Amino acid sequence: MHPIETTTRAERALLVGLALSDRERWEKIESLDELAQLAATAGAEVAEKILQTRRKPDPAYLIGKGKVDELAKAAQEIPVDLLIFDEELSPAQVRNIESVTETRVVDRSELIMDIFAIHARSRAAKIQVELAQLNYRLPRLVGRGVELSRLGGGIGTRGPGETKLEVDRRRIRARIAQLKRDLTSLETSRMVQRQGRGDAFRVALAGYTNAGKSTLMNALSSAGVTVADQLFATLDATTRQIDLGTRRDILLTDTVGFIRHLPHHLVASFHATLEETIEADLILHVVDVSHTAYRQQMATVDEVLSELGCIDTSTLVVFNKIDRLEDQSCLDLIRSRYPMSVAASALTGVGIETVKARIVALAEDMDREEVLFLPLDATKLLAQVHRDGRIIEEIFEDSRIQVRVRMDRAKLSRLQREIADAWARAQDRPGAGEQD
Ligand SMILES: Nc1nc2c(ncn2[C@@H]2O[C@H](COP(=O)(O)OP(=O)(O)OP(=O)(O)O)[C@@H](O)[C@H]2O)c(=O)[nH]1
Ligand SMILES: [Mg+2]
């Protein structure tokens, strides 16, 4: 089960990207730089980067056949052990490129999953990575040439043991089913854990990988979670209670970061780990503002968050690493564009008090106390009040139910509207009770 390091020296990799227009080139150059960082995190040495501009991807090779011939030549001359493509490749494209270049081919998704496999520590993380890898590899298992079978080890082969890749699809499907069952049982025990957290205010850190989420977690609590100048240093969720003097307890969760073109299988597999984010009352979106591509990174994070169904969750953007900004004047621009954000440095501590104050204000804002009056027959609404809020007092009067409740402000105003509708309906009915 454990990744076995079979290589003694770093594998040398040639990185390959594709831009569909000249305009796209800049973005792809950045993406290739990031791919190089990913490759380094996976233990490879980047020998060279090649970016082709081509109006349409080639169905057989992704890049042009002529370019593939060039790659074959370069791979022999440099020499390199593997080709890493920045785009996701179809199984046929991988086969075709491997047979022309006689070099192992890995794509961005496989590389990311490989890093996840190396960094996975907990049982949940290991199961989730293996699940993602098997789902990814299942349609790609057929027709690999023997000479290029992945017995050699190295990038793109870590995670599930090699022998597993040789077993037939039926056995892999059985393994996937087993992993899913394991994950479900882990989720059940986690759910019990979470339910024990009562009415705490839950804050989740989210953001691009390497943005400084774990550093911020440590600055806000004494969690002592791992911090590293590495992509995907954190794969598990760590939750700590932090004391900011609020009436409700505050729970802060650090978890896995995001990246552009995050493999779909990984997002699906890591649903359990991201559960804390999904269920959070507040998301702290940590941005590395010193990164040239920070705006695109923010967009990527927003995309993944919406994929996870977190669109309506309150979000506080923390522009981190401001100590690295040479020109502090860009912060003025950011402040005007994101007036509700905080500029901070999790490393030096600048702005951390403001982050804390904002969390407290938001926690209190989401914790309004109100007295509601419901029609006697509004059982559904009453159930909703019980589900979304904490009942302080409940009195059944002759013609109505009086409930004193604490609740998130947004939920409260939605509920108040529904209660008004319910009263309007009740008044239309003959013999209905009267409203206040
Ligand atoms: N200069 C500076 N460096 C920071 C700051 N915050 C974090 N870092 C550095 O950025 C790197 C990544 O920090 P982490 O806290 O591990 O980032 P992360 O978002 O948890 O990353 P992953 O878990 O890998 O997704 C580390 O080298 C940190 O020391 C900051 O405010 N200023
Ligand atoms: Mg981290």
Q: Tens digit of pLDDT for each residue in 249-262? A: 899 999 999 998 88
pLDDT given for residue 250 in this prediction = 93
Domain span holding position 386:
368-428
Domain boundary among 322, 339, 365: 365
Q: Is 215 in the pocket of ligand 1 (CB under 6 A)?
A: yes
Kindly state whether residues 273 and 343 are assigned to the same domain. yes
Domain membership flag for residue 261: yes
Q: Is 13 in the pocket of ligand 1 (CB under 6 A)?
A: no
Kindly state whether residues 120 and 81 are assigned to the same domain. yes
Helix pair angle (213-220, 352-365), 10° resolution: 80
**Domain count for the chain:** 3
Kindly state whether residues 316 and 418 are assigned to the same domain. no
Q: Is 231 in the pocket of ligand 1 (CB under 6 A)?
A: yes
* Pocket mutation for ligand 1, best pick of 259, 323, 347 (most atoms within 8 Å of C-beta): 347
35-52 pLDDT tens trace: 999 999 999 999 999 999
Rounded CA gap, 137 and 130, in Å? Answer: 10
The reply to whether 234 sits in an annotated binding site is: yes
CATH assignment of the domain containing 296: 3.40.50.300
pLDDT given for residue 436 in this prediction = 46
pLDDT given for residue 23 in this prediction = 92
Kindly state whether residues 71 and 210 are assigned to the same domain. no
Domain boundary among 145, 166, 187: 166
* Average pLDDT of the chain, as a whole number: 86
Domain membership flag for residue 183: no
pLDDT given for residue 148 in this prediction = 40
Domain boundary among 365, 383, 418: 365
Kindly state whether residues 295 and 399 are assigned to the same domain. no
CATH assignment of the domain containing 93: 3.40.50.11060
First to last CA, the chain: 66
Domain membership flag for residue 123: yes
The closest of 211, 224, 240, 229 to 320, measured between CA atoms, is: 211
Kindly state whether residues 314 and 384 are assigned to the same domain. no
pLDDT given for residue 166 in this prediction = 58
Q: Please name the residue whose Cα sits nearest to atom 7 of ligand 1.
A: 212
pLDDT given for residue 144 in this prediction = 44
Kindly state whether residues 136 and 218 are assigned to the same domain. no
Rounded CA gap, 215 and 221, in Å? Answer: 10
Q: Is 255 in the pocket of ligand 1 (CB under 6 A)?
A: no
pLDDT given for residue 146 in this prediction = 36
Domain membership flag for residue 391: yes
Domain membership flag for residue 375: yes
pLDDT given for residue 263 in this prediction = 79
Domain membership flag for residue 274: yes
Domain membership flag for residue 1: no
Kindly state whether residues 124 and 45 are assigned to the same domain. yes
> Residues 254, 214: contact at Cβ < 8 Å?
yes
pLDDT given for residue 178 in this prediction = 95
Q: Which ligand lies nearest the alpha carbon of 258?
A: 1
pLDDT given for residue 279 in this prediction = 86
pLDDT given for residue 300 in this prediction = 94
Burial of 301 (0-12, 13-18, 19+ CB in 10 A): buried
Phi (first) and psi of residue 426, to 5 degrees: -60, -35
CA of 14 to the centre of ligand 2 (A): 28
Which segments of the chain have a pLDDT < 70?
1-8, 142-168, 192-198, 430-436
Helix (H) or strand (E) holding 65: helix 65-77
Kindly state whether residues 28 and 144 are assigned to the same domain. yes
Nearest-5° Cα angle at 142, 140 to 145: 105
CA of 322 to the centre of ligand 2 (A): 18
pLDDT given for residue 261 in this prediction = 84
Rounded CA gap, 296 and 158, in Å? Answer: 30
pLDDT given for residue 151 in this prediction = 45
Kindly state whether residues 228 and 149 are assigned to the same domain. no
Kindly state whether residues 354 and 229 are assigned to the same domain. yes
Q: Please name the residue whose Cα sits nearest to atom 32 of ligand 1.
A: 321
Query: What atom in ligand 1 is closest to the CA of residue 228?
Result: 16
Query: What atom in ligand 1 is closest to the CA of residue 345?
Result: 31
pLDDT given for residue 216 in this prediction = 97
Please, which residues have CB within 8 angstroms of residue 85's CB and are 6 or more apart in sequence? 15, 16, 17, 62, 97, 105, 106, 107, 108
Kindly state whether residues 30 and 160 are assigned to the same domain. yes
Residues with Cβ–ion distance below 5 A, ligand 2: 213-214, 233-234
pLDDT given for residue 322 in this prediction = 96
- The percentage of the chain sitting over the pLDDT mark of 70, rounded to a whole number, equals 88
pLDDT given for residue 153 in this prediction = 58
Domain membership flag for residue 179: no
Query: What atom in ligand 1 is closest to the CA of residue 218?
Result: 15
CA of 121 to the centre of ligand 1 (A): 20
CATH assignment of the domain containing 423: 3.30.70
